[in-house]
Structure 1
Amino acid sequence: MSTLDDIDIRLIAALRRDGRASISDLAAKLKLARATVRSRIERLMASGEIAGFTALTRADVTAAPVRGLTMIGIEGRGTERIVAHLQGMPAVQAVHSTNGRWDLIIELATDTLQELDDTLVRIRRFEGITTSETNLLLSSRRASTRR
């Protein structure tokens, strides 16, 4: 990974806010020459720091209103089996392995609290899960920089 300076960080943040912004608009916002912005973007893409650009659909930005993070502890060697079960559940958005107190962190999204509760009951019944803790997400903000 390349070392990012302040200009790179500000440029990436601007692109995260609007990936379709023109070079001219980015240059004006960042108070840089268009050639500088263009060469920075090309360098960041060539180094892999910017991996690509994407389009967000309505479904991407219309999040289920009830979201949470569930941390689970697993007994023994059943992690892969549990991950496979979790990935098959509609409410599960992502499964993250981690270190420390918890073995997995699960991102959940449902339309209602009852759906979330039903999902948690199912998860807690998986053989090998010894403990869990769930926190509701009240609001989310995407990071605008990566250091």
Structure 2
Amino acid sequence: MDETDQAILSALRRDARAGFSDLAAELGLSRTTVRARIDKMLARGDILGFGVVTRADVASDPVRALTMIAIEGRGTDRVIRQLSGLPEIRALHTTNGRWDVIAELGAPGLEALDAVLTRIRRLDGVANSETSLLLATRKAGR
């Protein structure tokens, strides 16, 4: 990674939801350059995801759930990108077996959880899903 990539990463750390045009204006680069560099960093695995989730964020969600998602065909990367844009998603995990992706969700109430589950089920490529509510956390990870 060169200085330009580092500058892009620094800007994304400040605001992971910044658009390509906003990043380009802030860094004095073209939108195309910003997009191409982010795409390359994603492809190389330098960027694994966007956003920040703190322990306080997870603890403050009155309703938490795990949603296991089956994806049709080869649409996993596209579905993960779409899922990553949902603010209720706290973490995404790829897995093997029956389910392709497990999403950790947080919502202020059951109606909000129902709304995000509806959005997830309507994503093109989502074949099936199963959701389990988290009732209590006995041990939290890092």
Q: Does 1:115 align with 2:112?
A: yes
Report the secondary structure of 1:115's partner residue.
helix
Give the count of matched residue pairs: 88
Q: Deviation per CA, 1:70-107, whole angstroms, max 9, x where unpaired?
A: 00100011101110111111100000000000000000
CA–CA separation in structure 2 for the residues paired with 1:117 and 1:71: 15
State the partner residue of 1:83.
Answer: 80
CA–CA separation in structure 2 for the residues paired with 1:70 and 1:99: 14
State the partner residue of 2:44.
Answer: none
Report the secondary structure of 2:82's partner residue.
helix
State the partner residue of 1:93.
Answer: 90
State the partner residue of 1:72.
Answer: 69
State the partner residue of 2:56.
Answer: 59
CA–CA separation in structure 2 for the residues paired with 1:119 and 1:61: 16
Q: 1:120–1:58: structure 2 CA closer, same or farther, 3 Å change rule? A: closer
Q: 1:97–1:116: structure 2 CA closer, same or farther, 3 Å change rule? A: same
Across the aligned residues of Structure 1 and Structure 2, the Cα RMSD in angstroms comes to: 1.9
| TM-score normalised per structure 1 | 0.56
Gaps of 5+ in 1: 1-56
Report the secondary structure of 1:120's partner residue.
helix
CA–CA separation in structure 1 for the residues paired with 2:59 and 2:140: 18
Percentage of matched positions with identical amino acids: 57
Q: 1:125–1:143: structure 2 CA closer, same or farther, 3 Å change rule? A: closer
CA–CA separation in structure 2 for the residues paired with 1:61 and 1:93: 7
User: Alpha-carbon deviation of 1:59?
Assistant: 3.1
Gaps of 5+ in 2: 1-53
Q: 1:103–1:61: structure 2 CA closer, same or farther, 3 Å change rule? A: closer
Q: Deviation per CA, 1:24-63, whole angstroms, max 9, x where unpaired?
A: xxxxxxxxxxxxxxxxxxxxxxxxxxxxxxxxx7834642
